[in-house]
Amino acid sequence: MHINKKEILDNICYTELVYERINKKLNSRFSKPQIEQLLFKIIEQEKEASFLRIGKNIYVSSPENNIRITINSNTFRIITVDRIST
């Protein structure tokens, strides 16, 4: 199934709890706008080959940033961000 990166970027959204989860997983203290800017930039820059849909989730891997973003494919809500080992 084709993943439409523009559709993800146009509809990306967050819950209040995900900001805390992202900071915890990345061991950071980013503000909400900083998190949103970072994830938007990563999704925008990654080629669609870095996007993988498994079930209801889309995974965006960014080896350059050493993270993987998990997005709900129906709502385009960010679920979490994980560190990946290179």
User: pLDDT of 56-81, one tens digit each?
Assistant: 999 999 999 999 999 999 999 999 99
CA-wise closest residue to 16 among 60, 77, 85 = 77
User: pLDDT of 11-20, one tens digit each?
Assistant: 999 999 999 9
If DSSP codes are grouped into helix, strand and coil, which group holds residue 11?
helix
If DSSP codes are grouped into helix, strand and coil, which group holds residue 45?
helix
Question: Which CATH number characterizes residue 25's domain?
Answer: 3.30.2310
If DSSP codes are grouped into helix, strand and coil, which group holds residue 63?
coil
Number of domains in the chain: 1
**Count of CB atoms within 10 A of residue 4's CB?**
12
Report yes or no on whether pTM surpasses 0.85: yes
Confidence of residue 85 (pLDDT cuts 50, 70, 90): confident
Dihedrals phi, psi of 31, to nearest 5 degrees: -75, 170
Q: Which domain holds residue 46?
A: 5-83
